[in-house]
Amino acid sequence: MKQYAYIRTTGMYVPETVVVNDELAQPLDTSDEWIQKRSGIKERRYADVGVSNSDIAKLAVENMLSKGEIAAEEIDCMIFATLSPDYHFPGTGLVLQEKLGWAERTIPCYDIRQQCSGFIYGLQMAQAFVETGMYKNILIIGSEVHSHALDYSPRGRAVTVLFGDGAAAVVVSRSESETSGILVTETHGDGRGALNGVHLKLFDIGKKPIIYYNPDDPDNNVEMYPEMPASKNLFANAVRRMAEVSMSVLNRMDLTVADIDWMLPHQANIRINTLAAEHLGIPAHKVMFNIQKYGNTTAATIPLLLDEFAGNGTIKRGDLLLLSAFGSGFTWGAALVKY
Ligand code: ACO
């Protein structure tokens, strides 16, 4: 018998340190006005030095478990989506598993690297694992510590102002119902965008040594920092692909935009989401945002929206949610979830 998957519970954590746009103005040669007008961002959270991605992810998981909807022992698989892992390897999922005290249970931990689309990709994997009966309760984490790896000189301003730190967790479980839960997921990738979109080389395995760093020559240490060579192209692709894949999942389920209660788009730029919603014909009051508070938290944006807006009662069980993302790679995807 086919199994169905649903989002059982959620949790989140954002670091306490709030960094408003004005604090970035002088070092980056930018302004609050530019950042708000071009991106919608007012402030973001930064993790303290010494705090790793797995540390904030652990706090998000503990927040989720504190809601009492699932016991840690029931979780039988972990999918960790991030572009800012603790280490090059091993994966941050394993580091987190140990920090949570779960290592003795030896549950499998997948690290996935689909940037801003990481949560949608993770949701699709979890759906497939549950529907095939492979696992019963899958923990998906979207977590990022961007702030430790950004370029705080004017050279980096176009990227640095956009990103913030945060973590969110959800559990996907087996459902009895075939009419609720994760109705459909769709994901795409186009590797032509690999070095045209946002990317961080940091190391290049084709070189020896694989990392170039010269403290006496800071101007040439550009590979230490994320780059965004074609931001306008990225912007246009994001609007087009998010609208396209959202329409595709609706068509696959014989649903229309009128059926959607809430759109939860990835939070890269408030203008991207406004335009994508306009293309789709989704009214602005149905589109959820948290970019103004957190900036772009990459794999964490959608589960953060889910936890905040389900937590304050805006999203209710039974609501039809459209999740949609576009990110570096290029990667993109969408999901329809009867919450
Ligand atoms: N402060 C002040 N000026 C700036 C800043 C800044 N922080 N950053 C760039 N500028 C300047 C540029 O140098 C440029 O100056 P010029 O006209 O003299 O050359 C000017 O502002 C205009 O820059 P544009 O690139 O035209 O600005 P735009 O309106 O396109 O906004 C932005 C830039 C916010 C980056 C936008 O293009 C964007 O959001 N792009 C897409 C980002 C995205 O999709 N990310 C998703 C993937 S991220 C991921 O997956 C990790």
Residue matched to tokens 């920090």: 99
Query: Fold for domain 4-178?
Result: Peroxisomal Thiolase; Chain A, domain 1 (3.40.47)
Tokens of 16: 């306490």
Query: Ligand 1, atom 20: nearest CA belongs to which residue?
Result: 158
Nearest atom, ligand 1, residue 159 CA = 35
CA distance 249 to 251: 5
Nearest atom, ligand 1, residue 158 CA = 8
Which of 24, 31, 37, 38 should be mutated for ligand 1, with most atoms under 8 A from CB? Answer: 38
Q: Which pTM value belongs to this model?
A: 0.96
The helix or strand, by DSSP H or E, that contains position 186, with its residue range, turns out to be strand 181-189
Q: Compute CA 13 distance to the chain's CA centroid, rounded to the nearest angstrom.
A: 13
- pLDDT 10s per residue in the chain (339 long)? 677 999 999 999 999 999 999 999 999 999 999 999 999 999 999 999 999 999 999 999 999 999 999 999 999 999 999 999 999 999 999 999 999 999 999 999 999 999 999 999 999 999 999 999 999 999 999 999 999 999 999 999 999 999 999 999 999 999 878 778 999 999 999 999 999 889 999 888 999 989 878 878 877 788 889 999 888 889 999 999 999 999 999 999 999 999 999 999 999 999 999 999 999 999 999 999 999 999 999 999 999 999 999 999 999 999 999 999 999 999 999 999 999
Q: Are 57 and 46 in contact (CB under 8 A)?
A: no
Q: Are 57 and 71 in contact (CB under 8 A)?
A: no
Could you give phi then psi for residue 138, rounded to 5 degrees? -110, 125
The helix or strand, by DSSP H or E, that contains position 224, with its residue range, turns out to be none
Query: Fold for domain 182-338?
Result: Peroxisomal Thiolase; Chain A, domain 1 (3.40.47)
Residues facing 170 on adjacent strands: 10, 140
Domain ranges of the chain: 4-178, 182-338
Matching fold, domains 4-178 and 182-338: yes
Geometric angle at alpha carbon 110, from 104 and 111, rounded to 5°: 120
Count of Cβ atoms closer than 10 Å to residue 154 Cβ: 12
